[in-house]
Chain A
Amino acid sequence: MLSRHRINARDLELVRASGAELLPRLDEYVEQFYAWLRQEPEFGQYFNDETLLRHVQNMQVEYWKRFFIGVVDDSYVINRRHVGEVHARIGLSVAAYFAAMDISLAMLTDMLPMSDTRYETYRAITKLIHLDTAVVTVSYNHIINEKMAGQAQALTEMSTPVTSVAEDVLMLPVVGLIDSRRAQEILSSVLGRIAETRARVFIIDISGVSVVDTAVANHLIKLTRATRLMGCKALLSGLSPAIAQTIIELGIDVSAIDTHATLRDALEESLRLVGIKLVRSHNE
């Protein structure tokens, strides 16, 4: 990571040396920084509490103390990653974080004394700040991915509404895409409901599914086998002509699955299987 940011031993040495100048003046920086922060609209919502503000300021001083030690090792990176996670969790945008780092860079380097190595030091500090920011950005990504995985999970849980449509008949309409996570979810919720209701027929309607690839077909075959083990017959409905054709071209053997073109066909078949006859009433 150091080489990616072109940080060499000389740079770290310059960062350390500048620390001797800047660390005693960190209070000045903090004061300037918060003067800037207060006028930023996004920051207002975080600092309405004095104790919290002091805590954050202390953390910030610690951050820069660590920075000017000028040692980039695993524990340094872990620390920076943690900083990123904290900021991402409270919902601060990457753009705001970046702006804050940029203003910090300007404020700190403005405090550098005039000397022959001033520019070199400025570059060294810039590179290390950019490395920090890169690590923080990766953490942000990580948190966002976690959130997305959580949402996907929530969506999956919401989207397996196994419903009883007649005595002994369960139905599950599937909409969207089936990935292995969702297939697992479907399998356990279907088997659970079969055990609970002692249903004899289970209809899975995939008219809302746009693509059936080999993985999905595999899941459907497994689902059929598992329900059969529980004494329940599975009927698959809602295969569009395009899906039927791709399944054949993929070479998937679907002879184990009882398929029906439409949900209505499957429903009629299910009622026949459990011995229910629907009769039109004549009293209108």
Chain B
Amino acid sequence: MHPRTPTEYALRVCIDGELDIPIVASRFRAWAQRSGASTIDIARITTAAIELTTNVVKYAQRGELYGRLLETPRQRAIELIVEDRGPGIADVAQAIGERFSTGGTLGLGLPGVRRLMDEFEITSQLGRGTVVRALKRIE
């Protein structure tokens, strides 16, 4: 788990319970809208942010969400990182597989995020926590 300095990421939201899900959603959407992404891309990345936030609340109770705009002369992308110091995921491959859920829900969260975004990476250590990094090219 590499520590992140707050200045690196334009958006940083603390996740500390269910009441924070709508807060994350509205702050993330407002921020994403300023990036100039299309309506559909905003819907995709906001949905991804909510899915990952919901997972944190469900399994780790608290964590953090980071967002930043990555710009190179050739492309622009929104990077989203959600991390927690929760119990971790025993079998990452299984968790990102279709319709697997330990929480009694649809089991489409992680695979769904993977489909919504262009890049998707998950690092998890049992007892240490989970970091999900996802990226969406917006142009």
Instruction: Flag if A213 contacts B98 (CB, 8 Å).
Output: no
Q: Tell me the count of chain A residues lying within 8 A, CB to CB, of chain B.
A: 27
A217 within 8 A of B: yes
Which segment, of B62-70, B88-96, B101-109, B120-128, faces chain A? B101-109
Which segment, of A9-17, A131-139, A199-207, A244-252, faces chain B? A244-252
Which segment, of A97-105, A176-184, A257-265, faces chain B? A176-184
Q: Enumerate chain B residues within 8 angstroms of A241, measured Cβ to Cβ.
A: 39-40
Instruction: Flag if A177 contacts B22 (CB, 8 Å).
Output: yes
Instruction: Flag if A213 contacts B50 (CB, 8 Å).
Output: yes
Instruction: Flag if B106 contacts A214 (CB, 8 Å).
Output: yes
Instruction: Flag if A242 contacts B40 (CB, 8 Å).
Output: yes
Instruction: Flag if B29 contacts A214 (CB, 8 Å).
Output: no
A79 to chain B, nearest CB (A): 26
Instruction: Flag if B106 contacts A217 (CB, 8 Å).
Output: yes
Q: Enumerate chain B residues within 8 angstroms of A148, measured Cβ to Cβ.
A: 19
- A176–B43 Cα distance when bound, in Å, is 14
- A180–B22 Cα distance when bound, in Å, is 11
Known contacts A177-B25, A251-B111: A246-B116 contact under CB 8 Å? yes
Q: Enumerate chain A residues within 8 angstroms of B105, measured Cβ to Cβ.
A: 214-215, 218
Known contacts A177-B22, A211-B43, A242-B40: A249-B115 contact under CB 8 Å? yes
Query: In A128-158, which residues have CB < 8 Å from any B CB?
Result: 145, 148-149, 152
Q: Enumerate chain A residues within 8 angstroms of B116, measured Cβ to Cβ.
A: 246, 249-250
Q: Produce 1/0 per residue, A31-46, CB < 8 A to B.
A: 0000000000000000
Q: Tell me the count of chain B residues lying within 8 A, CB to CB, of chain A.
A: 26
Instruction: Flag if B106 contacts A252 (CB, 8 Å).
Output: yes
B131 within 8 A of A: no
Query: In B51-76, which residues have CB < 8 Å from any A CB?
Result: 51, 54
- A215–B55 Cα distance when bound, in Å, is 10
Known contacts A249-B112, A250-B115: A211-B18 contact under CB 8 Å? no
A197 to chain B, nearest CB (A): 30
Instruction: Flag if B109 contacts A179 (CB, 8 Å).
Output: no
- A274–B109 Cα distance when bound, in Å, is 37
- A177–B39 Cα distance when bound, in Å, is 17
Q: Enumerate chain B residues within 8 angstroms of A243, measured Cβ to Cβ.
A: 43
Q: Enumerate chain A residues within 8 angstroms of B47, measured Cβ to Cβ.
A: 211-213, 246, 250
A210 within 8 A of B: yes
Query: In B23-59, which residues have CB < 8 Å from any A CB?
Result: 25-26, 29, 39-40, 42-44, 46-47, 50-51, 54
- A152–B21 Cα distance when bound, in Å, is 12
Q: Which of B29, B44, B108 has the most CB of A within 10 A?
A: B108
Known contacts A246-B116, A249-B112, A251-B112: A213-B51 contact under CB 8 Å? yes
B114 to chain A, nearest CB (A): 10
Q: Look across to chain B and name the residue whose beta carbon is closest to the beta carbon of A248.
A: B115
Query: Top 5 A-B pairs ranked by shortest CB distance?
Result: A250-B112, A242-B43, A213-B50, A177-B22, A242-B40
8 further A-B contacts with Cβ under 8 Å, apart from A210-B43, A218-B106, are A177-B25, A213-B109, A214-B105, A217-B106, A245-B43, A246-B44, A246-B116, A249-B115
24 contacts between A and B (CB under 8 A): A148-B19, A177-B22, A177-B25, A179-B21, A180-B18, A210-B25, A213-B47, A213-B51, A213-B109, A214-B105, A214-B106, A240-B43, A241-B39, A246-B40, A246-B44, A246-B47, A249-B115, A249-B116, A250-B51, A250-B116, A251-B98, A251-B108, A252-B106, A252-B108
B→A interface (CB under 8 Å)? 18-19, 21-22, 25-26, 29, 39-40, 42-44, 46-47, 50-51, 54, 98, 105-106, 108-109, 111-112, 115-116
